[in-house]
Amino acid sequence: MVTRVGLVGGGAMDAGIAEMVARAGNPVLTLERDKASGAAAIVRLENSLPRAERAGKLSREATDSARSLVSITLVIDDFADRELIIEARPAIEEIKLDLSGDWTTSSPTQQLWRPTHRPSR
């Protein structure tokens, strides 16, 4: 069972993913390109969780718990202990290639693309 999740980016879609992972009770580490982007990602979460609480979708305790499970990093190597990494960056080739370059310089490619238990994937 996956419990430690890494998320590349904290944009609108990524923030929603981070929130859902945290609401499920799993720690999520979000990789951002700079401190300002990281702060913006936290603001998105801080705006979204109370809306869910006001709508009756979350208790106050669940809101606080989810908030505590999301953290930001600027260092890709911090993903070393993550069991699942979700990449949801825009489909812009330059952005995707930049990320893949980061992966291959920080971790051996064989570790990143290990076989799964689902060979059809």
CATH number at residue 21: 3.40.50.720
Q: What pLDDT score does 15 carry?
A: 87
The angle, 0 to 180 degrees and rounded to 10, between the axes of the packed helices 35-54 and 12-23 is 60
Q: What pLDDT score does 109 carry?
A: 47
Taking phi first (over 0 means left), then psi (-120 to 50 degrees means alpha), and beta for anything else, what does residue 31 get?
beta
In which domain, by residue range, is 15 found?
Answer: 5-90
Give the separation between CA 42 and CA 77, rounded to whole angstroms: 21
Check residues 89 and 67 and name the one with the higher pLDDT: 67
pLDDT digits (tens, 9 = 90+) for 39-65: 999 999 999 999 999 999 999 999 999
- pTM, full prediction: 0.73
Is residue 47 in some structural domain? yes
| Mean confidence (pLDDT) of the chain | 81
Q: Structurally, how many domains does the chain consist of?
A: 1
Is residue 34 in some structural domain? yes
Is residue 99 in some structural domain? no
